[in-house]
Structure 1
Amino acid sequence: MSLTAHIPSHRKPRQSASKTALRAGVAGGVLSTIAVAGAAGPAQAEPVTQTIEMPTITSGLSTTVAASAQATQQVALDLETQANEDAAAESAAKKAKKAKAEAVRKAEAEKKAEAAAKKKAEAAERASRTSVRTTLSASSGGSGSSASSYSASYSSSNATGSAAAVVAFAKAQVGDAYVPGGTGPNSWDCSGLVQAAFRTVGVDLPRVSQAQSTFGTQVSLNNLQPGDILYWGSAGSAYHVAVYIGGGQFVGAQNSNTGTVQRSLDYDRPTGAVRVL
């Protein structure tokens, strides 16, 4: 047997001519490309610019943004309006509080002034009456018998006719309030009551006590009759009047403390009297 016979070969099989030629062509092309690139030099490649068209979304977005802006503006306006209203309310409340305090202060001042004036008037009235009483006491000589006859004469008559009507009206007003300038029907001052009483019988007296104290005939306090007009102070300048009702009593609108009362002449003796009826 030959030494070389049937010994398998370990060499790779030979490639076919077609594959060899293909590989050669590819390699040649690559080398040619490299060569061309090398020959072209270091020139930089042109940047590639490409415009990408994005989808349009501004239509819906603009509506949403506009609505949001309008809502924000409305909220701002509402807040501003509320702030203005709150400021106005606070200012009005402060003004009202100040006005109330001022009204209370004025009312208190007026009340004090009224009380002071009333006190002063009452003091003046008391002083005048005291002076009148002193004068009457001096003129009577302080005689007890004179005082007794003075009181006895007051109860010597009974009211009749028109005088009775005047007396009845005056007595019917007892308990009514005293109000300066009052002419009824439920509040009086002294001359307003006397005038209204005589008006019931068709006699139109002057309005004020000074004129009433000279209307009619002057009569002595020792000879009084029901329906006579009593006055305090001098005739023509009297500061108070009342109606004598008989029995040593009179009815008069005295002052704001007592109102219209029925009193004995000894309670507050008059200066004089006039007879109208």
Structure 2
Amino acid sequence: MSHTAHIPSHRKPRQSASKTALRAGVAGGVLSTIAVAGAAGPAQAEPVTRTVEMPTITAGLSTSVAASAQATQAVALDLETQAHEDAEAATAAKTAKKAKAEAVRKAEAKKKAEAAAKAKAEAAERASRTAERTTLSASTESSTTSAPVSSNATGSAASVIAFAQSHVGDAYVSGGTGPNSWDCSGLVQAAFRTVGVELPRVSQSQSTAGTQVSLDNLQPGDILYWGGAGSAYHVGIYVGDGQFVGAQNSSTGVVQKSLDYDPPSGAVRVL
């Protein structure tokens, strides 16, 4: 035993300090308990205990977090969609540009090919006309019926005949009006134009342009026609001595022939 055990204590009884314990839970609305020990009586007094329910904060927090996550996901989805659309638009624009360039290239190639084909065709046509004219000239020189003959025509008739005979050997071209290729009515119109007479352009109209005359009473400078008056399909110029000059067809060109070679249907006199 201690030698101080019998000495009574002179200190006043210690009053218990207030004790507070806080227990807080954050999941599922856990109750928080605060224990308060009061010192209102002697040291041996039982502590006073009070229970207080703390508010739950997890519900609102989880909702905010969920909403924020959902908004972030929506923004990310929108960005991904926009990026995909931008990529598709860029691809489409690139494809369209390439297709346009290809179309332009093909159009230019087609244009060049057409120009080359046209030039080739024109060259072939010129060569054909030259060969045909050479053949016609040789045939004319060797044929007594094709050689120009003198006539008793005078004045305007003589000028018309001289013009027509100067183009014997020229090529026949449908719609041709000279100076080196003709169709039948084109040659007749040009011959009469040299003396100031303006005839209609086509055979049908030329066959009624003057006074109808009998084939037995022809004079140099009369217009001969084949077919009906007003519906003629061919015309020529009577040059005298039973011969005429006319642009016959693509095989013969402009020739001087006997009326027996191709007897006309009728004649009109303009001069």
* TM band (smaller chain): 0.3 to 0.5
* Higher RCO structure, 1 or 2 (CA under 8 Å, sep 6+): 1
Return the structure number with greater helix share.
Answer: 1
